[in-house]
Amino acid sequence: MVLVLFGLLYALPNVFDQDPSLEISGSRRATVGSATEQTVRTALDKANIAIKSTDAGDDKLLVRFNDSESQLRAKEMLETTLGGDYTQALTLSTDVPGWLQSVGALPMYLGLDLRGGIHVLIDVDMDAAVSQAMERYNGDLRTLLRDEKLRYSRVAVRDDAILVSFKEAGLRDQALDVIGNEYRDLQLEALDEGDDFLVQAKMSPSEQRAVKKFALDQNITTLRNRVNALGVSEPVIQQQGERRIVVQLPGAQDPSKLKELLGATATLEYRLEDTEHSVEDALAGRVPPGSRLYQTRDGRPILLKRRVIVTGNQITDASSGFDQRTGSPMVSVSLDSQGARRMRNVTTENVNKPMAVVFIETRKDTRLVNGQPVTRKVQVEEVISVANIIEPFGRRFQTTGLDSPEEAHDLALLLRAGALAAPIDIVEERTIGPSLGQDNIDQGFASVLIGLAVVMIFMAIYYKVFGLVANMALLLNLVFIVAVLSMLQATLTLPGIAGIVLTVGMAVDANVLIFERIREEIRNGSTPQASIFAGYEKALSTIVDANITTLIAAVVLFSFGTGPIKGFAVTLFIGILTSMFTAIVGTRAVVNLIYGGKRVARLSI
C-alpha cells in the first residue's frame, strides 16, 4: 500500500500541464525587474498574443503561454522589443505545485524527439591537438636552445618526433641535458645521421593522452560557453566516448545558427603597426623581417609587426556596446593578468602609435579533388581596426571600428567563448521541430491509451474477475513506470513510449501464466484455494526466468544504444521490473482479498 501511494505521489506531477514558456534573462547591462515584466506584457498585448501567466524569479522572468505557436510568435516579437541585452530561452515549464516539487516529484524529462530541439554530435580532431602540441614544442625548443646559446643547424618535425640537428657531437650532448632538464615529459634520444648529430624528441604516450584530454575538456568548456551565449534553457554538453561531444539544446529551433557558432574558431591578435617601413616596398616583395603584410576589411594593405602583443586566449571577457563618444559599435575587452601586463608595457612605450586588431577566423572547407573529398582548413585573417594608442592601458579597453551592432555582438560572443583547443567536426545532427515533437507526444499517448484499453477489455472478457484484477495490476504498473521515470528523471523518448506500450502488452504475460496454471489446477480437480496457491507458486520460477532473459536484452540495448534507443531500453527495463512486482505481488494481494479466508465453490476465471 505504501508503495502504491509512493508511486502515485511521484507519478502525480505528470498530470499537470507543461506550458510552453519563454525564460527572459538579462545580460550584464540589463537586469530583469518589474519594469521588464510591464514592457513584455504591453508588447504582447499589443501583438494580441495571449499570456497564461508571468512569473518573476531572481533575475529571470518566466512567461507562460497556452500553446507553442504564441510562444514562438512572442519570441520573435520580444527580440525586437527588448533588444540584444536580453536573452530569451524557449522552455517548457510545469504547473506542478510547490509542495510536490519540494519532495522531489517532478514530471518526466522529455527527450528532444518529444519536446523538440537540436542534438549535435561533435568529433574532436585529436591528431590535430597532438600536432599542435608538437608545433608548440618546436617553438619552445628553438627558444630554449637560443637562450642557452647552443647553436643548432635545423629544427624539424618528422612524423611524431622533433629533430634538432647539430654540427658537433659535444653541442648535441649539451643540448640533450638542457632539454632533458627543462622538458621532463619529452622522450629524448641521440641519433647520428651522416654529418649531423641529432636530438630526437618525442612526446611520451602519457603526455599525448594528457594533451588529448586537455583538448577535449577545453573544447567542452568552450562549447558550453558558446551554447550558453545562445540562450537556451537546460542545454546538455557532455563527453561521449574518447573524442566526441554531445550537445543537446531542448527547444532550440535554428540549427544553422548553432552550427555556425559551434564551428567557428575565431580569435583576435593585437599587434603594433609597422610605421617605419613603407607598405609599397612590402607589396613589391621586400617585406621587412620583423613585419608581415595584412589586409584590412576594405582591402587596403597594411604592414604589422610580427610580434603579437595579446591573443584571444588571454581575453577573459568581452561585451558589445556603443562607443560613448562616436556612437559607433564597439567591443569592450578584459584581459587576464599576464595579457594585461604585456599590454600595459607595450602601450606605455608606444603611445600615439597605431595598434591593429587582427581577426582570425578558421573554417572548414570540403572540396572534391580528383573525385576524393578533401577537407581543408581555410584561415581568414583580416585587420578589423587600427587605432592610435591614446593612453597606456592594461586590463580593460575597447575596440572600435566595427561595421554594425550585430557584428560587435557576434564578435564579443566569440571572444567571450574563447578558442577551441582542437578543430571540431559535426558528425551527427538531429533536429526535431516543436510541431513534430507535440505530434509525437500526442500519438505516443494515444497508442499507450488505446493499447491499454484493448488489452484491458480483452483480459476482462477472457479471465472475468481475475482479468479485472490483472487490469488493476496493469494500471498500477503504468503508474509505477511513470513514477520511476519521473524519480530518476530519465529521458522519455518516442521509442521510450513504444517501450511502455510493449510493456503493457507483455506485462499481462505474468498474469496469463498464473491464471492458466490456476485453470489447469482446477481442471486437475484441485480446490479453488489450492489452485490459486499452486498457480502462483508454480508460475513463479517460469516468470522470473522468462523476464530475466528479456532484462538481458534490455541491458544490452542500453549499453550499446544511443539517444533514442537508450530511452527504449530504460522504459523496457523499468517496465519489466515493475510488471513483475505488480503482476505477482499486486494481484496476489487483491486475489487474497477477494477469495482469501473463505470457502469458495467456484472461481471466476
Partner 1 sequence: MQIFKRTTEIDFMGKRNLAATLSVLLVLISLGSVLVRGLSLGIDFTGGTLVEVGYEQAVELSKVRGVLGEGGFGDAQVQHFGTSRDVLVRLPPQAELASAELSDRAFAALKQAQAGEATLRRVEFVGPQVGDELTEDGGLAMLYALIGILVYVALRFEYRFALGSVIALVHDVVITLGIFSLFQIEFDLTVLAAILAVIGYSLNDTIVVFDRIRENFRKMRKGSAVEIINSSLNQTLSRTLMTSLTTLLVLVALFVFGGEIIHGFAFALIIGVLVGTYSSIYVASTAVLMLGISKADLMPVVKEGAEVDAEP
**Which listed range, 178-186, 280-288, 407-415, 421-429, lies at the site for partner 1 (CB under 8 A)?**
421-429
**Which listed range, 5-13, 41-49, 79-87, 456-464, lies at the site for partner 1 (CB under 8 A)?**
456-464
Distance CA 309, CA 389 (A): 13
Question: Cell numbers 508503495 correspond to what residue?
Answer: 3
**24 phi, psi to nearest 5 deg:** -105, 125
Q: Which is nearer to partner 1, 489 or 604 (CB)?
A: 604
Distance CA 543, CA 538 (A): 9
Distance CA 44, CA 65 (A): 11
Q: Please, are residues 492 and 567 in contact by the beta-carbon 8 Å criterion?
A: yes
> Minimum distance from CB of 457 to partner 1 (Å)?
9
Q: Which is nearer to partner 1, 329 or 423 (CB)?
A: 423
The size of the interface with partner 1 (CB under 8 A), counted in residues, is 85
Considering the rule CB under 8 A, would residue 505 count as an interface residue with partner 1?
A: yes
Distance CA 472, CA 523 (A): 26
Considering the rule CB under 8 A, would residue 552 count as an interface residue with partner 1?
A: yes
What do you get for the CA distance between the two ends of the chain, in Å? 25
Q: Please, are residues 71 and 50 in contact by the beta-carbon 8 Å criterion?
A: no
Q: In what order do the strands lie in the sheet with 265-273?
A: 291-295, 301-311, 265-273, 354-369, 372-388
In angstroms, how far is CA 142 from the centroid of its own chain?
Answer: 39
Considering the rule CB under 8 A, would residue 458 count as an interface residue with partner 1?
A: yes
Q: Which is nearer to partner 1, 191 or 454 (CB)?
A: 454
Considering only 342, 344, 353, 364, the residue that binds partner 1 (CB under 8 A) is 364
**Which listed range, 8-16, 343-351, 366-374, 588-596, lies at the site for partner 1 (CB under 8 A)?**
366-374
Considering only 554, 577, 584, 591, the residue that binds partner 1 (CB under 8 A) is 554
Question: Cell numbers 629524448 correspond to what residue?
Answer: 188
> Minimum distance from CB of 515 to partner 1 (Å)?
9
**Helix/strand/coil for 65:** strand
Q: Please, are residues 55 and 113 in contact by the beta-carbon 8 Å criterion?
A: no
Considering the rule CB under 8 A, would residue 365 count as an interface residue with partner 1?
A: yes
Closest by CA to 529, choosing from 590, 603, 442, is: 603
> Minimum distance from CB of 132 to partner 1 (Å)?
21
Q: Distances in Å between the alpha carbon of 5 and those of 103, 184, 468, 476?
A: 14, 63, 20, 10
Q: Please, are residues 100 and 487 in contact by the beta-carbon 8 Å criterion?
A: no
Distance CA 237, CA 217 (A): 11
Closest by CA to 326, choosing from 387, 385, 401, 391, is: 401
Q: Name the strand (E) or helix (H) holding 10.
A: helix 2-11
Considering only 418, 444, 528, 535, the residue that binds partner 1 (CB under 8 A) is 444
**Which listed range, 159-167, 330-338, 384-392, 563-571, lies at the site for partner 1 (CB under 8 A)?**
563-571
**Which listed range, 30-38, 445-453, 581-589, 590-598, lies at the site for partner 1 (CB under 8 A)?**
445-453
Q: Which is nearer to partner 1, 190 or 454 (CB)?
A: 454
Considering the rule CB under 8 A, would residue 561 count as an interface residue with partner 1?
A: yes
**Which listed range, 30-38, 345-353, 354-362, 448-456, lies at the site for partner 1 (CB under 8 A)?**
448-456
Considering the rule CB under 8 A, would residue 366 count as an interface residue with partner 1?
A: yes
- The length of the chain in residues reads 605
**Which listed range, 50-58, 139-147, 195-203, 433-441, lies at the site for partner 1 (CB under 8 A)?**
433-441
> Minimum distance from CB of 588 to partner 1 (Å)?
14
Q: Which of residues 82-121 bind partner 1 (CB under 8 A)?
A: 113, 121
Distance CA 51, CA 182 (A): 65
Closest by CA to 498, choosing from 474, 481, 519, 480, is: 481
Considering the rule CB under 8 A, would residue 267 count as an interface residue with partner 1?
A: no
**Helix/strand/coil for 33:** coil
- Binding characters for partner 1, 508-547, by CB under 8 A (x = yes): xx--xx--x--xx--x-------------x--xxx--xxx
**Which listed range, 276-284, 294-302, 337-345, 549-557, lies at the site for partner 1 (CB under 8 A)?**
549-557
Considering only 26, 180, 231, 263, the residue that binds partner 1 (CB under 8 A) is 263
- Binding characters for partner 1, 474-503, by CB under 8 A (x = yes): --------------------xx-xxx-xx-
Considering the rule CB under 8 A, would residue 560 count as an interface residue with partner 1?
A: yes
Q: Please, are residues 137 and 130 in contact by the beta-carbon 8 Å criterion?
A: no
Q: Residue 214 CB: number of other CB atoms within 10 A?
A: 14
**47 phi, psi to nearest 5 deg:** -85, 5
Q: Residue 555 CB: number of other CB atoms within 10 A?
A: 13
Considering the rule CB under 8 A, would residue 569 count as an interface residue with partner 1?
A: yes
> Minimum distance from CB of 248 to partner 1 (Å)?
14
Q: Which of residues 118-137 bind partner 1 (CB under 8 A)?
A: 121, 123
Q: Which is nearer to partner 1, 149 or 523 (CB)?
A: 523
**Which listed range, 27-35, 338-346, 364-372, 377-385, lies at the site for partner 1 (CB under 8 A)?**
364-372
Considering only 282, 408, 432, 532, the residue that binds partner 1 (CB under 8 A) is 432
Distance CA 115, CA 97 (A): 21
Q: Which of residues 3-62 bind partner 1 (CB under 8 A)?
A: none
Considering the rule CB under 8 A, would residue 427 count as an interface residue with partner 1?
A: yes
